[in-house]
Structure 1
Amino acid sequence: MKRLLSAFLLVACCVANAQQLASPDQNLELKFGLSPKGEPTYELSYKKKAVIKTSKLGLEVKGAPSFLDGFQIDKSEKSSFDETWSPVLGEQKNIRNHYNELLVTLSQKAVNGRYIRIRFRLFNDGLGFRYEFPEQKNLNHFVIKEEKTQFALAGDHKAFWLPGDYDTQEYSTVTSNLSEVRGKMKDAVTPNASQTTFSPTGLQTPLMMKSKDGLYINIHEASLINYSCMSLNLDDKNMILESWLTPDAIGDKGYLQAATQSPWRTIVVSDKAADILTSRLILNLNEPTKYKDVSWIKPVKYVGVWWEMITGKSTWAYNDLESVQLGITDYSKTKPNGKHAANTAHVKEYIDFASKHGFDAVLVEGWNEGWEDWFGKSKDYVFDFVTPYPDFDVQELHRYAASKNVKMMMHHETSGSVRNYERHMDKAYQFMVDNGYNSVKSGYVGDILPRGEFHYSQWMIDHYLYAITKAAEYKIMVNAHEAVRPTGLSRTYPNLIGNEAARGTEYESFGGNNADHTTILPFTRLMGGPMDYTPGIFQTKISAYNPENNSFVHTTLAKQLALYVTMYSPLQMAADLPETYNKFLDAFQFIKDVAVDWDDTYVIEAEPGDYITMARKAKGKNEWFVGGISDENARTANVTFDYLPKGKTYTATIYADGKDASYDKNPQSYAIRTIKVTSKTKLQQPIAPGGGFAISIK
């Protein structure tokens, strides 16, 4: 139940004195004030250590005076709030939302008394703040030229960063001091299907940093709605990060109408890395769910016809035509290429495998007409999302899957043609309902059409939310790939059960992800919401499926198991091929057993870029699962079990790297053993280079 703990009002007309606010545990302190020019500024400290030095706030607008200076404080209000809420799906059954708030009203006399509000919420784990534009006589429609929010850092921090880009997050994370960003940027920008970098010191959020005096700092945003995505531009001389919004096709960065507000700007901070991973600040800054009925939103464990196409073993396309036109090309009169994976007989094999091993769903990509020349042609009408290839019998597969108690998962690749997707959306979602699909994996590969729009512009942000809310009308869950990085909207719209928005497992077939990749993602990409990382690759040599591809998966087999615990998602794929899993059924047992929805989460040890060991309790069950992963270095994990109920003994099955295992030379070496554990047990578990371990506790 919500409880208003305290509230009081301070009237401070025309006074520029600082306002102060402390977190509920008193460890964080916020200071807000105005400069002599009437510029809003703030500072943030943690246990008396500077996190953010004096930093300016405000926005530039187009064709009108900006919200940057000339302000006076009309009013400031302080309040406290404390509630506990339960996510539909999540890492915890109950989440506490406890903060102290400062709401400051600022007016500009020179602009006929135009005013804005800046709302600060200070939690025990960090700060959120946003700009609010109330409805008023002298403010209606306005266009953002740039948001000028600053984050003045207290030093040259170690950072885990991606190049700032309007179109993709699919880069390898670079670990360096901030002062080294400029020199490393050129090598960091690797090719992608769609990319638009904007600055030699531009960085994406979530941005994870560690100060020299041991503070872990994460900067991101929450509740990104009707606004363009924020990146950061680094002033590397003064160590100041400044917000940098994604523009539209003509360079404008946002179209707003009062009453409205910006997304929350978030700063999560602690002197313990584990606290970053357990922070729920971003979720707490989103609104409660908009849906009255959420009974249709359920966690999903799935297999799919996907990895064989990613590796090059099979194709999405039905044939090798160089040109197709929907409604004109008659596929029944063309010769299939013999490698098309999404055919009825083959998909039935996946359905059989899913049914035998208790999986919820089967994803099929490449089932629909248009894949032959879909990419890079600037074609507005590529897919209609309802017309299957001749070898894919939708009705028969619906019947067969239903008879096996397995759901089919739809795939909608938009090819970046957003208007085309929207014009077909109702028909496509109804087609899903009619044929037994209750979840969809959508994709936005390539440059956005209409031309000039970017993946992270306000127009596209609106589209992604439209797709989610429209899907909800049909009781369909959404897993969006190549969409904007999540900002906690899964609280408000819980049918958003997955996102990509980072380099996933597919890149293991495109040259490989660095061995430290998955030790960083929970501190960066996963701060805003779950990721459909698609783990579970047991055959780590891609050449086993495609002799022309010499890439390999940069983890051990045991680490692939651990990812089901360390990479949170209520949507988890066993991504490898059934015939491979049949060779490793003892290890595959962990994937069958592991939960995907949780009552609680415990971080046992963590250091970004180096290692993570995490335990989770399965939703509604007396079962716990532990995952531990490392970077390219071997190490010994110190595993505790103090989260188990006291006085009880449990059986723990440990799936570990073999003694001779390593991610590059012997990735399939693993060992399985069973031990008894209690809440007092302490285990030292060796991890191979690029390796990991997984534990099932029952």
Structure 2
Amino acid sequence: MLRKLTLLAMVCLIPILLTAQELKSPDGNLLMKFELSDEGIPYYNLNYKGKPVIKPSALGLELMDVASMDAGFEIKEVKEQSVDNSWKPVWGKQSIIRNNYNELSVMLVQPALKGRFIRIRFRLFDDGLGFRYEFPKQPELKYFIIKEELTEFFLAGDHKIFWIPGDYDTNEYPYTTSKISELPEKMEEATIQVAAQSPIENLAVQTPSMMKTADGLYINIHEAALENYSAMNLNVDADNYKMSAHLTPDAIGNKGYLQTDTHSPWRTIVVSDKATDILASNLIVNLNEPTSYQDVSWISPVKYIGVWWEYFVHGGSTWAYGTETNVKMDDDFSKLTPNGRHGATTENVKKYVDFAAMHGFDAVLVEGWNIGWEDWFGNWKEDVFDFVTPYPDFDVEELQKYASAKGVRIMMHHETSGSAANYERRLDRAFQFMADHNYNSVKTGYVGKIIPRGEHHDGQRMVNHYIHVARRAADYGIMINSHEAVRPTGLHRTYPNWIAQESARGTEFEAMGGLHPEHTTILPFTRLMGGPMDYTPGIFQTTYNDGEQRINTTLVKQLAYYVTMYSPLQMAADLPENYDRFPDAFQFIKDVAVDWDESHYLEAEPGDYVTIARKAKGENEWYVGGITDENARTANILFSFLPKGKKFVATIYADGKDASWNENPQSYDIRKVVVDSKSKLNQKLAAGGGVAISIVEGTKENMKGLKRL
């Protein structure tokens, strides 16, 4: 609730607090205070249950060529409102989302600048704070250029932080866990070589930034509704534990070009004394606008397989058709010398279609079907792919008929090689080609340095590009899964056909040195805060190349990812023949849902473990996934999420007694038991392991001979 300070309190305070306003969360646990300093500088702070989360931190923007919006303000108007409603997402972790907050809107005027004004809007939820800058139309503010955003996050201590280096072009770093004060000494080691990177020169980390305080508060800083603005990194003052906004620049160093009436993205701070509450938060998606799409019936979650993992396995196939290394788009590709290892052939794709049809998968992704792969990477070429011309050994028409007859879709792949300019020129022709051939989903890729040259993956120009692609795709009834794009900020609410993204270090890196076992216990608290990830789980064959290439999980942990790594787009990423070797374990992947009515966060600790239960949308089925880091542990699973008074059959996929990620990853056990809402399972997870459970309503037939848990 918003209230003005009482007169008695005012006379006891120093002048800096004379204009202070307070805002409480609906449950009263969070308290945000806004104030102006004597110099007219806006400040805010945030407390949770009396504990400081953000100490007084400055707000404002530095502008190019005109006076900045950083000081000299007076409060012109204060408004308040409370909102409590619910809405239904097209797809998601739950079928109904509550949107409950108290709002404070403060209009600030700069009298010395002919009354130029801005508005800062704060929304305080039970699980955190969102705020943004708003720039109404006015005579003294029409067009302006941002030099830097001056938003601060002054932390209350030397927190534990889970972080990746600040960068303008990639999110694909492994996570480092340290104290904030240790960032300077660890930054160089953490900034490993990845594709198309542009590390920030000063000390900075990316968002979402996940922290834990010494007294047990969990704090997550990110942004919501990133449109027509540059993505935010966080400068770090490691000595004073202060963070500040660092926007991605364009080719000439500017951070944003705006025209009133407009606004910034929301800056978000999710906070709780329970790690599970961080995972359960809907604050970021609630701060995004509802979709304007009139018809969403064509948008649906997808479970798919694909011609993909075979490109990463040692000795596998290739994206490229020919052996040549100097190829142009207008060359006659039928005259190229075949390399004999091309993966996207008509014959090979038919095998994947057969497998998908046999096991009930919706679609088959095919990478490497189109001309241009021979010398695309690293050459910063503008015209690499045309997105409509197949290689000589890929028959579009035949595969369309073959897949359609079996009830399977082919999933398109558009690798842009970072050339957004080329993709935009060809976008409508590419989407029309998809529509003509019954493709309703596409995986887009942005590997490499961006064209227009000098722009960055996370700058305003590319932020607008990704949204343009999603909106244009909607005109053709196409769903988008973007890779190497800017990290998500909840825009899947506004553009529900933008069904998933990569934007982090995913499964493909298991084939390039491996991922640390703790990696996927951190991602739900970082990357997945903004939206679903196409993580591509389900790798059963965990060693390759005589053991030199290793997947750092147990087989069961790969099953658990389908619940813990939320996405409405889930891939069974391994080779079909590896699933044929483990049909009983593969059953879980076939059964598990990709859209949900409910999600229950049972236990979690960032960097250590995560256990989640979800109810399949419209079904009396529940699925549980639990994962751990490199340490073996016991998952304590309460089945209180089940309806009371009913019995259910739980199929438990567990690590074997001798299982571990590095010595015996394929050891697993499967058992069935009867459970109800009072049941409790203490399940051992192997090092780097997990547990996966499918639950169906009990009947006399399926419970026959089963023991109660």
Q: Report if aligned partners of 1:7, 1:77 keep a CA contact under 8 Å in 2.
A: no
Asked whether 1:591 is paired with 2:593, we answer no
Q: State how 1:137-286 maps to structure 2 within 5 Å.
A: 137-286=139-288
Following superposition, the deviation at residue 17 of structure 1 comes to 1.6
Secondary structure, counterpart of 2:464 in structure 1? helix
User: 2 CA distance for matches of 1:77 and 1:576?
Assistant: 55
Following superposition, the deviation at residue 413 of structure 1 comes to 0.1
Q: Report if aligned partners of 1:15, 1:73 keep a CA contact under 8 Å in 2.
A: no
User: 1 CA distance for matches of 2:65 and 2:2?
Assistant: 41
User: 1 CA distance for matches of 2:28 and 2:438?
Assistant: 52
User: 1 CA distance for matches of 2:199 and 2:265?
Assistant: 22
Following superposition, the deviation at residue 258 of structure 1 comes to 0.6
Secondary structure, counterpart of 2:467 in structure 1? helix
Which position in structure 2 is the counterpart of 1:103? 105
- Specify which of 567, 570, 588 is matched with residue 568 of structure 2: 570
Which position in structure 1 is the counterpart of 2:704? none
Secondary structure, counterpart of 1:636 in structure 2? strand
Q: Report if aligned partners of 1:7, 1:78 keep a CA contact under 8 Å in 2.
A: no
1:554 partner letter: N
User: 2 CA distance for matches of 1:332 and 1:197?
Assistant: 41
Following superposition, the deviation at residue 199 of structure 1 comes to 3.3
Which position in structure 2 is the counterpart of 1:57? 59
Asked whether 1:656 is paired with 2:654, we answer yes
1:677 partner letter: V
Secondary structure, counterpart of 1:441 in structure 2? strand
Question: After superposition, what is the alpha-carbon deviation per residue over 1:398-440, rounded to whole angstroms, capped at 9, x for unaligned?
Answer: 0000000000100000000111000000000000011110000
Asked whether 1:641 is paired with 2:639, we answer yes
Secondary structure, counterpart of 1:582 in structure 2? helix
Which position in structure 2 is the counterpart of 1:322? 325
User: 2 CA distance for matches of 1:381 and 1:542?
Assistant: 36
Following superposition, the deviation at residue 310 of structure 1 comes to 1.9
1:418 partner letter: A
User: 1 CA distance for matches of 2:381 and 2:685?
Assistant: 49
Which position in structure 1 is the counterpart of 2:706? none
Q: Report if aligned partners of 2:17, 2:35 keep a CA contact under 8 Å in 1.
A: no
Q: Report if aligned partners of 2:626, 2:635 keep a CA contact under 8 Å in 1.
A: yes
Asked whether 1:84 is paired with 2:86, we answer yes
Asked whether 1:561 is paired with 2:563, we answer no
Q: State how 1:284-433 maps to structure 2 within 5 Å.
A: 284-312=286-314, 313-328=316-331, 330-433=332-435
Question: After superposition, what is the alpha-carbon deviation per residue over 1:75-103, rounded to whole angstroms, capped at 9, x for unaligned?
Answer: 11111011100100100010000000000
Alignment gaps of 5+ in structure 2: 11-15, 697-709
Following superposition, the deviation at residue 373 of structure 1 comes to 0.3
Secondary structure, counterpart of 2:550 in structure 1? coil
Which position in structure 1 is the counterpart of 2:495? 493
Which position in structure 1 is the counterpart of 2:699? none
Following superposition, the deviation at residue 6 of structure 1 comes to 11
User: 1 CA distance for matches of 2:346 and 2:511?
Assistant: 26
User: 2 CA distance for matches of 1:495 and 1:391?
Assistant: 31
User: 2 CA distance for matches of 1:278 and 1:247?
Assistant: 33
Following superposition, the deviation at residue 7 of structure 1 comes to 12
Q: Report if aligned partners of 1:16, 1:72 keep a CA contact under 8 Å in 2.
A: no
Asked whether 1:479 is paired with 2:481, we answer yes
User: 2 CA distance for matches of 1:679 and 1:200?
Assistant: 52
User: 2 CA distance for matches of 1:620 and 1:512?
Assistant: 37
Q: Report if aligned partners of 1:231, 1:244 keep a CA contact under 8 Å in 2.
A: yes
Asked whether 1:619 is paired with 2:617, we answer yes
Q: Report if aligned partners of 2:17, 2:37 keep a CA contact under 8 Å in 1.
A: no
Following superposition, the deviation at residue 253 of structure 1 comes to 0.2
User: 1 CA distance for matches of 2:311 and 2:418?
Assistant: 20
User: 2 CA distance for matches of 1:290 and 1:499?
Assistant: 21
Calculate the aligned-residue CA RMSD, in Å: 1.5
2:322 partner letter: N
Following superposition, the deviation at residue 338 of structure 1 comes to 1.0
Secondary structure, counterpart of 1:372 in structure 2? coil
Matched length: 686
Q: Report if aligned partners of 1:561, 1:590 keep a CA contact under 8 Å in 2.
A: yes
Q: State how 1:461-480 maps to structure 2 within 5 Å.
A: 461-480=463-482
Which position in structure 2 is the counterpart of 1:630? 628
Q: Report if aligned partners of 1:611, 1:631 keep a CA contact under 8 Å in 2.
A: yes
Following superposition, the deviation at residue 149 of structure 1 comes to 0.2
User: 1 CA distance for matches of 2:362 and 2:3?
Assistant: 48
User: 2 CA distance for matches of 1:224 and 1:100?
Assistant: 22
User: 2 CA distance for matches of 1:39 and 1:171?
Assistant: 36
Q: Report if aligned partners of 2:288, 2:491 keep a CA contact under 8 Å in 1.
A: yes
Question: After superposition, what is the alpha-carbon deviation per residue over 1:561-614, rounded to whole angstroms, capped at 9, x for unaligned?
Answer: 000000000000000000110000000000000000000000110000000011
Q: Report if aligned partners of 1:6, 1:80 keep a CA contact under 8 Å in 2.
A: no
Q: Report if aligned partners of 2:3, 2:23 keep a CA contact under 8 Å in 1.
A: no
1:436 partner letter: N
Following superposition, the deviation at residue 451 of structure 1 comes to 1.2
Q: Report if aligned partners of 1:412, 1:440 keep a CA contact under 8 Å in 2.
A: yes
Alignment gaps of 5+ in structure 1: none
Q: Report if aligned partners of 2:2, 2:23 keep a CA contact under 8 Å in 1.
A: no
Q: Report if aligned partners of 2:3, 2:21 keep a CA contact under 8 Å in 1.
A: no
1:400 partner letter: Y
1:585 partner letter: P
TM (norm. structure 1) is 0.97
User: 1 CA distance for matches of 2:370 and 2:181?
Assistant: 48
User: 2 CA distance for matches of 1:171 and 1:654?
Assistant: 33
User: 2 CA distance for matches of 1:177 and 1:472?
Assistant: 44
TM (norm. structure 2) is 0.96
Q: Report if aligned partners of 1:185, 1:200 keep a CA contact under 8 Å in 2.
A: no
1:488 partner letter: G
User: 2 CA distance for matches of 1:215 and 1:375?
Assistant: 44
Secondary structure, counterpart of 1:454 in structure 2? coil
Following superposition, the deviation at residue 236 of structure 1 comes to 1.1
Following superposition, the deviation at residue 335 of structure 1 comes to 2.3
Q: What stretches of structure 1 move > 2 A for 4+ residues in a row?
A: 5-8
Which position in structure 1 is the counterpart of 2:513? 511
Following superposition, the deviation at residue 192 of structure 1 comes to 1.1
Percent identity (aligned): 64
Question: After superposition, what is the alpha-carbon deviation per residue over 1:471-511, rounded to whole angstroms, capped at 9, x for unaligned?
Answer: 00000000000000000000000001110000000000000
User: 2 CA distance for matches of 1:148 and 1:335?
Assistant: 56
